Chains A and B, each alone.
Chain A
Amino acid sequence: DGGITQSPKYLFRKEGQNVTLSCEQNLNHDAMYWYRQDPGQGLRLIYYSQIVNDFQKGDIAEGYSVSREKKESFPLTVTSAQKNPTAFYLCASSKTGYTGELFFGEGSRLTVL
């Protein structure tokens, strides 16, 4: 079945550690996105990528990094510079040029201890 797979579903990390969240899609979509969800704040865009080897900062990119070496993969690294990393992270993809419908993964919940 086509879809988006995020892993791990739950992740705990100590303060000061970097952690990488995986996102893989087999929908043959060109565009991929990372959003963060916090209670009462909806989904906020961290980074997005329209094509391989290119990505752009979203609204809250500070403390995060991404790479897009393959069309299917868009991993997100939460660095120690992110001040408040505990959140629910959502990866999504879409067809390039499409007006907006995104397909989401099931999310990864990161908790910093």
Chain B
Amino acid sequence: DQQVKQNSPSLSVQEGRISILNCDYTNSMFDYFLWYKKYPAEGPTFLISISSIKDKNEDGRFTVFLNKSAKHLSLHIVPSQPGDSAVYFCAASEVGEYGNKLVFGAGTILRVKS
């Protein structure tokens, strides 16, 4: 039972345009959401995050939007660049008895065409 879902396995965007990556979750106890970027044969690197008490967080070309009522978040990249081509993972944080842990979605492959 996937608690974090990224329903689009891949996305192709023209350089300079907006990339929108989507993520849905089912667990209302998640209190923090993160996006990670991953290149082949490397570990994921942190990109941007948002607390559940906010609905938007912006960092340069990257903006994350959170819609708690819909249990949905999205990552916007504007403008998209060829170097943004990677796998993007959505993750949600849950604080449990033994500390916090992240639950990841399956990832979306973003291809930015020049």
Contact = CB atoms under 8 A, between A and B. Distances in A.
A100 B106 contact: no
Nearest to A43: B104
B43 A105 contact: yes
Contacts of A35: 104
A90 B44 contact: yes
Contacts of B45: 104
Interface residues of A, number: 31
Nearest to B41: A107
Contacts, number: 71
B101 A33 contact: yes
A99 B91 CA distance: 12
Contact of B99 (A41, A48, A90, A104): A48
Given A42-B105, A104-B45, A56 B89 contact: no
Task: Name the prevailing secondary structure of the A interface residues.
Answer: strand
B100 interface: yes
B43 A100 contact: no
B89 A43 contact: yes
A56 B41 CA distance: 27
A107 B89 contact: no
Contact of A56 (B32, B49, B51, B98): B98
B102 A100 contact: yes
Contacts of B100: 31, 94, 97-100
A100 B49 contact: yes
B35 to A, nearest CB: 11
A92 B34 CA distance: 15
Contacts of B101: 33, 45, 48, 58
Nearest to B33: A100
Contact of A107 (B34, B43, B93, B99): B43
A35 B101 CA distance: 11
6 contacts: A31-B100, A33-B101, A42-B104, A58-B101, A98-B100, A99-B31
Interface of A: 4, 6, 31, 33, 35, 40-45, 48, 50, 56, 58, 90, 92, 94, 96-107, 109
